[in-house]
Amino acid sequence: MKRLFGQFVKFAAVGGIAFCINWSVMNVLLMAHFGSILGVSIGFLVALAYNYSASMSHVFIHRRDMPRWTEMMVFFLNSFIGLGLNDFIVWIFTNVIISSHLSETDHVRYTLFANIGLLVGSAIVAAWSFTVRKVLLDEPKDGNEEKTVLAHKLGTWAKKHTPKGWL
């Protein structure tokens, strides 16, 4: 339990920095009158580059039974599901919740609700991402796990189907 808590603290620190990157990019784009979904998506993708390198070097331990390309595929597929969730939540905040109260020129309120949506969406996506990464990408504590675990099966399959010379 102590290891899990420490890992979550590291995940939160990396995620906090990634959130700041995402938030900054989104707000710069909102100031330039880009739409909230485009701003959130671009910010998310910029933050994702940082998040992958920091998460895999400081938070999660590479699974010995999984090739790197599979690790990357799982990480980015999980992240794109997170992007979809984040975009959907921001869309709800900017198009459903305030649509009846928003005038065409009320950019301040639109930006405020986009930021609230990003905060709520990021919290939900963080919980989702930590769970998926912990289950599928993190090396088990003692190095021994049941051969029936999905992560082990995925890693074994990927090793069998990895072309020679690949990671």
Could you report the per-residue pLDDT of 42-99, keeping only the tens digit for each?
999 999 999 988 988 888 777 777 787 888 888 889 999 999 999 999 999 998 887 6
Structure tokens at 103: 């005038």
Tell me the sheet residues that pair with 138.
62
Q: What percent of the chain has pLDDT over 70?
A: 86
pLDDT > 90? residue 20 = yes
Mean model confidence pLDDT for the chain? 85
What is the tens place of the pLDDT at every residue in 34-52? 999 999 999 999 999 999 8
- Flag whether pLDDT at 130 surpasses 90: no
What secondary structure does DSSP assign to 92-150, as a single string?
A: IIIIIISGGG--TT-HHHHHHHHHHHHHHHHHHHHHHHHHHHHHHTBPPTTS---TTSH
Whether the predicted pLDDT of 134 surpasses 70: yes
Considering only 63-72, 88-97, 132-141, 144-153, which range has the smallest mean pLDDT?
Answer: 144-153
- The residue among 145 and 137 whose pLDDT is bigger is 137
Whether the Cβ atoms of residue 98 and residue 113 lie closer than 8 Å to each other: yes
Give the pLDDT band (50/70/90) at residue 147: low
Which residue ranges make up each domain of the chain?
A: 2-160
Q: What is the dihedral of CA 13, 117, 134, 7, to 10 degrees?
A: 20
CA distances from 147 to 125, 133, 153, 154 (A): 29, 18, 7, 10
Residue 148 has pLDDT above 60, yes or no: no
Strand, helix or coil for residue 82:
helix
